[in-house]
Structure 1
């Protein structure tokens, strides 16, 4: 009879793969709801709540702008180039290339999804500032999930203590959540845009991390 410990190394990748598949299904279902307009009531209620919050507490808008900037194209690009450069410098060239491919392909898919679904952003009267482009899924939420979770997982894997790993993963998750929430708080995205971005970005990051793990084990 096969020793149960023989299968233990397969459990985590299997669970991660199932989680990525589940998140992909969530994204597809949410996209369908958005296209049919079934999320508009939920989205609108949060839009009004965010507007009221900014009106009652003017400092919120400034804080949210700063948090939103963490998920901007410029910041994420600089972060990615620096991190991939470091990976290549320490000899992890394959991982560096895979991460770069993951992030570039995710950005291309987000642009494709925005065009495909054609969701308009909230009205200018409800937004803190004008943001160009289409809305679903949120590029900030999607790409911050891909970038922060990918590098967070890679960094955590280099630590042996569980508490250190959980802290790093928690910090990466926290950054991802804060960027997404800031977009809703500023009124430049519907909440469904951000939820879709988180679902897609997390699934994409997990999938590419599994690919990197598989290739590294060959």
Structure 2
């Protein structure tokens, strides 16, 4: 009896807690990485590599001209807008309205917490470090806050990764989950790269924004998993294996 009980406990822990433990370990590693990066930036140890990367993205004969065709520069401006206040606010309001109409109020509150918390953390970190913007090249976008960490990169990570995680948790199909998470990651990467390409951030600003924004999104994702197990967030649809789906299709059963 004790063996069966211990085996059942181990199975439960393995099924429900392993993912949470891994998430927390990754979260701690990310926070440690951010602290180390911030320390290197504060001591000026990253200045050389920051400058080399920034200059590598510019025409050496005209530093006001980013490398590549004109359409690439315009595309980067479009991407950078995806991490701006206007787009993030509109997307958050739209997603909040959808979740509210769907009756997913706890998921809505989780999203609002992720976005608002990300904004507050970004402002506090910028105020704390007060790093000057790059002055090597002309800026390709208007700036009005300090440089470290990149607010666009951080908010893109916090917003898009959180939305991607929430959408993934609402679906059982692995390919659908992967689609949402990969799409959110690509958007986050595109926003961050555009900030360096346009000369408004040092590369380490963007790396720091990705790191802390990703940590915040991961924390929200971990909370979402916990709440879903409790039933406070609507569970995903029951998983249907490919074999079951093929059998259902062959028998004409609507799944």
**Fold shared, TM-score > 0.5 on shorter chain:** yes
- Matching residue of 1:172: 184
- Structure-2 separation of matches of 1:136 and 1:80: 24
Please name the residue that 2:213 is paired with. Answer: 201
How many angstroms does 1:214 deviate by? 2.2
Q: Distance in 1 between matches of 2:28 and 2:95?
A: 27
- Does the CA-based 8 Å contact 2:137-2:199 persist in structure 1? no
Change (3 A) 1:212 1:191: same
TM-score (norm 1): 0.94
1:26 to 33, 57, 61: 33
User: Given that residues 107 and 166 in structure 2 are in contact (C-alpha distance below 8 angstroms), is that contact kept between their aligned partners in structure 1?
Assistant: no
How far apart are the structure 2 equivalents of 1:206 and 1:128? Answer: 31
Q: How far off is 1:72 after superposition?
A: 0.7
1:12 aligns with 2:19: yes
Q: Compare 140-149 and 22-31 and name the one that shifted more.
A: 22-31
Q: Is the alpha carbon distance of 1:215 and 1:159 closer, same or farther for their aligned partners in structure 2, counting shifts above 3 Å?
A: closer
Are 2:140 and 1:105 aligned? no
Q: What is residue 204 of structure 2 aligned with on the other side?
A: 192
Name the structure 1 match of 2:73.
61
Residue in structure 2 matched with residue 42 of structure 1 by the alignment: 49
Gaps of 5+ in 2: 60-64, 231-255
Looking at structure 2, the residues matched to 214 and 203 of structure 1 have their Cα atoms a distance apart, in angstroms, of: 17
Partner of 2:149: 137
Higher-RCO chain (CA-CA 8 Å, sequence separation at least 6): 1
Q: Please provide the CA RMSD for this pair.
A: 1.6
Q: For the Cα contact (< 8 Å) 2:114–2:162, is it kept in 1?
A: no
Per the normalisation by structure 2, the TM-score is 0.81
* Number of residue pairs aligned between Structure 1 and Structure 2: 218
- What runs of 5+ residues in structure 1 fail to find an aligned partner? none
Distance 1:150 1:56, change over 3 A: closer
Flag the 1:56–1:97 CA change in 2: closer, same or farther, 3 A: closer
Q: Quote the Cα distance in structure 1 between the aligned partners of 2:104 and 2:221.
A: 14
Q: Name which one, 1 or 2, has greater alpha-carbon Rg.
A: 2
